[in-house]
Amino acid sequence: MSREIIHNADISTAGADSIMRKYVLLAAGMGLAGIAALAVAGRTSDAQQSGPAVADSIAATVLAAGDTAGLPGLRQPIFFRHDIHAGQYKIECQYCHYSVAVSSEPGIPTLETCMGCHTAVSGTDSASRAEIRLLRTAWSEKKPIEWNRVHFLARHVHFPHANHIKAMGPNACATCHGDVARMPQVYKVNNVNNMGWCISCHIERKVTRDCTACHY
Amino acid sequence: MATNVDRRKFLTVLGVSGGGAVALSGCSTDRVQKLVPYLVQSEDQVPGVPTWYASTCTECSAGCGVHVKTREGRAIKLEGNPAHPVNRGKLCARGQAGLQGLYNPSRVKGPMLKENGAWKEITWDDAIARLAQEVGKASGRVAVLSTPARGTFSDLLDNWVGAAGGTVTRWEPLDLEPVRMASRLVYDTDAVPGHNFAEAHFILGFGDFLETWNSPTEQQIGYAESHGFNGDAARHVQVGARRDLTGLNADEFLSAAPGTEAAVALAMANVISGGGSGPFASLIGEWTPDAAERASGVSAARITAVAREFAAASPGLAVAGGIAAQGDNALALAVAVAVLNSVAGNVGRTVLPAAAVPTGDGLAGMQRLMAAMDGGQVGLLMVHDANPVYALPKSYGFAEKMAKVPFKVSTGHFLDETAEACDLLLPNHHALERWDDLRARPGVTGLMQPVMEPVFQTRHTGDVLLGVARAIGGGFAQFTAASFEEHLKQAWAGSTGGDAGWRAALAAGGAWDGAPAPSSSAAAAPPPPTPAPAFAPPAAPAEGDFTLVAFPHAFLYDGRGANRPWLLENPDPVTKITWHPWAEISLETARRLDIRRGEIIRLVSDHGSMELPAYPYTGLHDRAIAVPLGFGHTSYGTFAQDAGPTPLDLIGPPGSTPWINYAGTRVQLEKTHGFKDVATTEGNPRQLGRGIAEAMPIEYARRGLTVKESHLAAGAGHHEINTPLEVEAIAGWREEQIEARKLGDYAEVHPAWGMSIDLSRCTGCSACVTACYAENNIPTVGYDDVLRGREMSWMRIERYWEGGEDGEPLEARFVPMLCQHCENAPCEPVCPVYAAYHTVDGLNGQVYNRCVGTRYCGNNCPFKVRYFNWYKYNEKAWPEPLHMQLNPDVTVRARGVMEKCTFCIQRIRGAQHDARLEDRQLVDGEFTTACAQACPSGAIVFGNRRDPASRVSEVSHDPRGYVVLEETNVRPAVTYLAKVLHAPEAGA
């Protein structure tokens, strides 16, 4: 299935820094139209604002269907907003990405984790209420949500998250993943498959540059 | 991915596409992958961190304990349970390949009913209702065929069949019936005695005890303890018609005509008891060494000398194992060996007659079942864990008799020959998917627990039985448990006492109470057996006649391993043949009839004929032709199909003996003038003076001589390894290398990983090879590509012949060969893209994503341990769902990439990461490579050579230590310890 993959389109996110490269990859127009139609159908029609908004660090902006089409990053089955969870409510990354400090894998929150809050939290506006309804439906139907993967490392690279958290502290996530706390929809800030990018950090920090540290 | 796999709730982050299953070409980021979280947090799964479960191996009846490594809800590796009394942390090749039974593409994926000759998928509810209906219809004429394995399930089965009205027959091929019969006669107990190999000072073998017989891993552990050199070593003499792997490990081999091994054993007992006096006089009196020589062809002088040595060793250990105890005169041999142990005073010391255990019904029980089926007395046949249509000789007519049963049910994992002949398939969970237990022997019970969700829509046969009981009611009302899991916990509640005890037993992998209890008659001298079993040496065969020796394949065993590519591609330890059967003929026969290797010969008996490629073998008696069991499946999945015939087709109907006569059928040999390419991984079988597999006589080893000193002491001329010019060049190079080590990261203090391999312990069993395949995602390449020399075995066992010509005794030397991680590696400087390079911690690194496939490195490697991916093996070696076995920590290599042993770098890096997380240093022995972990002999030691206190440093400094191809100055990180030769004592 063709989908649009948009990396950092025209959006002046406050956290975006100089490493960000601007390029837009659009899939076939049909695919785009299909996705846009889906987006409209999937959300209530009370779209008021036009154009994507800038998230600030205190309160995430209300976004509605019409706003989201222009957001960078992969469209997800549920419009989960890191800017609200990690930005506005300042929930620790590790609350959801539970294994990042103990494993090579960061861990994706289980539906149970989501429902821990969303049994009670139903959303403040119709747009978010619609998304939370999707979550609750998935929970009641016992169907896990198939998130679209934004970051993935080539299979011949082994990246132990835990050791990087250990060395750089629990809030080091942004070093690679960008300021997710300000992203309404997560997009790729750094190409994690660019080895030069890994190595520049390893040189700066005077740590191993041995090939077999990561490749085996 | 199979549909039912998709539905599994364990899908998680790495579940995206089977962990490491995505090949190297996964650089591209233009494909959208899915991240699928758990619904509910699993208590014992953390993505990226392995979870281990204790379980029990069911690949043979030994009952070894295993630890199952799971990642993201999938079993990815089996290792021995270090606390288990049977296998003490080790696991053989067959046990490790249990994983390929779990993920085998040929598994029955759900219940099926045969309608008009075609299989139709049905639901479990319908299947259970149908079985209940058929049980009612059979009205007391239910017959169940199962294995001798005992546990809570077999008790339930007994009671269930009791309620249904009928009988349970317990049978398996290669049953140890003759040995148990001998135990009954000599020790008055109905069990195979325990053998304490570790305490024996002299081992006298009359058949294989290292490959497949009885409890091979346990026996190998003990054998390595006594026969491996540690200041001194036990001597091992083997008697037999075929020199199997056990025979090749022996210090001396006495070639006896097939079926006459008992004469040799009786004559040795005769010698020890001073000419046949004493309580066994009636049995051994007539068997003087001369009489034995006439019968067997073994020289009377050797019989006498070995007997005296055996008696003097005290304690020694004589073992009637292998195929000699399955053929003509098997009972006579087993009794003779028991007598031999008795007169030599070994009973109670190395031979521990065990308390009687409930065992199978043997061939007699099977014959009763066949007669009942034939006579129309069976209304419903249920086959559980057995494949008699394949495993019984065709001449027994099992399939025809089975066809007379109105309704047949199979609970097997695979659509094998027996399942194919059934009407209803109720596939059982694999051992790694179910609750179960196994009474390995008195005092040792292993537990099994589900380590993952079932791969397919299978169901525990225990639950099926309980479901049928509920459906029928009435006489089945006694079965109240809601599930087999509950039934098992109830059964264990008495001994474990509550939830905590049950959990402790589960974590331990079962319950055991130390050493097996010897029976009361252990210490006492056993009485003479009555009646003494008759031993009649087989008549000398007519001209052109041979005796067929159908021996169990070292890996496929009776055929149950034949659908597992790891076992098919693992070269047979003796012949190094993969993927197909062969017929061994003696060198003399080959010369006489002018038969070459690979020439197709036709074997004809009174009951059938077959064509097989010939393998002329020095270690075979002239009168014998040896053919491995295990091939010849007509229905056992794609890997097993069309592999070649099974010698079972030559064996005649049941005779007077209550065991299948695997060695004794008369066959004729006919030439066909056809040829088949023999898929052997063997290169030159001779060392040609290269010093690859060194050995030294035990007296030199005892004196602490080095390999070079040993050569000099043996009278070899002084031999300079390098010429003076070379020495000068090497010295200059060494200085340069020391200077280079002061540069950059190399200047810092790092570990220097290294390995030592003790050839006096290595038996060539090849458990390490399978462990390496499992750990490192090594693809199997199949028959055609083995012929082209393209097998990918990072770890291989080289087998070299010494002697065997001009009357010299044949000697085999086994050398595990893997990347030597040379300090001065020839592969590194020739790589144009720096894919092969030296890491700071002494590894010879291979960076797959850099490799462009020039193969210069492989060309320059003197050890031939680099393997090139000529084809897309990664796409065809693991047909679904076999790919679920892949280790997500290791990259799956794609076509065009060179690969080789990495010293299990994923384990090194993993341990280093863990140590860093815990702010500590690595501890020697906290991790090891997959091969060292598996090795039942404990021959392989891995560690940091730079740490003088590490075990590998200690072992590498043994005087027997040497490196292979020293003259090339490549400075390997692998040190071999020379094999120790234990020749007959001077004057003996």
Q: Which one has a higher pLDDT value, B270 or B23?
A: B270
Same domain, B96 and B135: no
Residue B419 forms part of a structural domain: yes
Q: With 90 as the cut, is the pLDDT of residue B656 above it?
A: no
* Local confidence band at B31 (pLDDT 50, 70, 90 cut-offs): low
Residue ranges with strand state E in B712-758 = 753-758
From the list A107, A147, A208, which residue is nearest B47 (CB)? A107
pLDDT over threshold 50, residue B239: yes
B151 and B289, same structural domain? no
Indicate the range of A124-128, A162-166, B80-84, B963-967 predicted with least confidence: A124-128
Q: What does the pLDDT read at residue B522? A: 44
The per-residue pLDDT for B591 is 93
pLDDT band (50, 70, 90) for residue B543: low
Contacts B747 to A, Cβ<8 Å? none
Is there a single domain that holds both residue B283 and residue B295? yes
Partner B, chain A 70-89, Cβ-Cβ below 8 Å: 74
- Rounded CA-CA distance B62/B214 in Å is 6
Whole-number Å distance between alpha carbons of A4 and A52: 17
pLDDT score of B657: 79
Average pLDDT over residues B42-60: 89
Residue B712 phi, psi dihedral angles, 5° rounding:
-65, -45
Mean of pLDDT over chain B: 88
- Residue B847: closest C-alpha in chain A: A215
B518 in a domain, yes or no? Answer: no
A43 is written with which tokens? 């959300």
pLDDT tens for each residue of B352-371: 887 666 678 889 999 999 99
Residue B524's pLDDT is 46
User: Is B840 found in the same domain as B959?
Assistant: yes
Q: B interface mutation test: which of A104, A135, A155 has the most B CBs within 10 A? A: A155
Q: Above 90 in pLDDT, residue B284?
A: no
Non-local CB neighbours of B955 within 8 Å, separated by 6+ positions: B756, B758, B941, B961, B975, B977
- Read off the pLDDT of residues B165-202 as tens digits, 9 standing for 90 and up: 999 999 999 988 888 888 888 887 888 888 999 999 99
| B321: confidence class by pLDDT, cuts 50, 70, 90 | confident
Report ipTM (2 d.p.): 0.84
| Residue stretches of chain A with pLDDT short of 70 | 1-67
**pLDDT for residue A58:** 53
| Mean local confidence (pLDDT), B935-956 | 94
The residue among B6, B9, B30, B35 with the most chain A CBs within 10 A of its CB, best to mutate, is B35
Cβ contact, residue pair A211, B906, below 8 Å: no
- Joined together, the tokens standing for residue B540 give 């000398």
Nearest to B786 by CA among B676, B869, B679: B679
Q: What is the CATH number of the domain that holds B756?
A: 3.30.70.20
What is the pLDDT averaged over residues B744-773?
92
Contact A216 B902 (CB under 8 A): yes
Residue of A nearest to B899 (CA): A216
CA distances from B978 to B280, B514, B689, B803 (A): 42, 35, 15, 17
Chain B hits for A213, Cβ within 8 Å: 909
Q: Is residue B689 part of a domain?
A: no
> Given an 8 Å threshold on Cβ–Cβ distance, is A158 in contact with B906?
yes
Distance from CA of A41 to the nearest CA of B (A): 22
* Least reliable range by pLDDT among A48-52, B264-268, B513-517, B720-724: A48-52
The answer to whether residue B261 is domain-embedded is yes
pTM for the whole structure:
0.89
Domain shared by B710 and B563, yes or no: no
Q: Residue B527: pLDDT band by 50, 70, 90 thresholds?
A: low
Residues 187-206 of A with CB under 8 A from B: 191, 193
B600 and B452 part of one domain: no
Same domain, B778 and B927: yes
Q: Judge if B297 and B215 occupy the same domain.
A: yes
Say which of B29, B848, B913 has its CB closest to residue A160: B913
Buried (b) or exposed (e) across B477-492, using 16+ Cβ within 10 A?
eebebeebbebbbebb
Note whether B736 and B814 are same-domain residues. yes
Given an 8 Å threshold on Cβ–Cβ distance, is A149 in contact with B34?
Answer: yes
Which among B73, B72, B37, B9 is positioned nearest to A111, based on CA atoms? B37
Q: What is the pLDDT of residue A123?
A: 86
Shortest distance, CA A48 to any CA of chain B (angstroms): 31
Domain end marker among B317, B352, B387: B352
Contact A74 B32 (CB under 8 A): yes
pLDDT band of residue B739 (cuts 50, 70, 90) is: confident
- Give yes or no: residues B483 and B625 share one domain: no
Q: Which residues of A touch B24 (CB under 8 A)?
A: 155-156
Give the C-alpha distances (Å, rounded to integers) separating A178 from A70, B5, B27, B509: 19, 35, 21, 47
Looking at per-residue confidence, does B719 or B470 come out higher?
A: B470
Question: Is B10 part of a structural domain of the chain?
Answer: yes
- Asked if residue B324 lies in contact with residue B208, where contact means CB atoms within 8 angstroms, the answer is no
Q: Please give the average per-residue pLDDT across B777-785, as a whole number.
A: 94
- Out of A5, A99, A163, the one facing B913 most closely (by C-beta) is A163
Rounded CA separation B159/B373 (Å): 22
The CATH number linked to B328 is: 3.40.228.10
The pLDDT value given to residue B327: 83
> What would the mean pLDDT of B428-433 be, rounded to a whole number?
95
Q: How many contacts (CB atoms, under 8 Å) link A and B? A: 139
Q: B446-458 pLDDT, tens per residue?
A: 999 999 999 999 9
Confidence of residue B746 (pLDDT cuts 50, 70, 90): confident
**Taking a C-beta distance cutoff of 8 angstroms, is the pair B529, B281 a contact?**
no
If asked whether residues B269 and B147 sit together in one domain, one would say no
Q: Which of A98, A104, A112 sits opposite B39 (nearest CB)?
A: A112
Contacts of A198 in chain B (CB under 8 A): none
From chain A, pick out residues whose CB is under 8 angstroms from the CB of B36: 108, 144-147
Between residues B12 and B400, the one the model is more confident about:
B400
Report yes or no: A142 at the B interface, CB cutoff 8 Å.
yes
Residue B720 pLDDT grade (very low, low, confident, very high; cuts 50, 70, 90): confident
Most distant pair of Cα atoms in chain A: their distance: 55
Residues 117-136 of A with CB under 8 A from B: none
Q: Give CA B515 to chain center in angstroms.
A: 24
Question: Are A210 and B840 within 8 A, CB to CB?
Answer: yes
Q: Quote the pLDDT of residue B475.
A: 85
User: Domain count of chain B?
Assistant: 5
Question: Which residue range(s) make up the domain with B792?
Answer: 695-981
- CATH code where residue B654 lies: 2.40.40.20
Q: Are residues B169 and B182 in the same domain?
A: no
Separation of alpha carbons B492 and B814, rounded Å: 45
With 90 as the cut, is the pLDDT of residue B683 above it? no
Residues 6+ apart with CB under 8 A from B144: B157, B161, B166, B167, B168, B169, B381, B382, B383, B384
DSSP per-residue string spanning B760-780: TT-----HHHHHHHHHTTPPP
The answer to whether A104 contacts chain B (CB < 8 Å) is yes
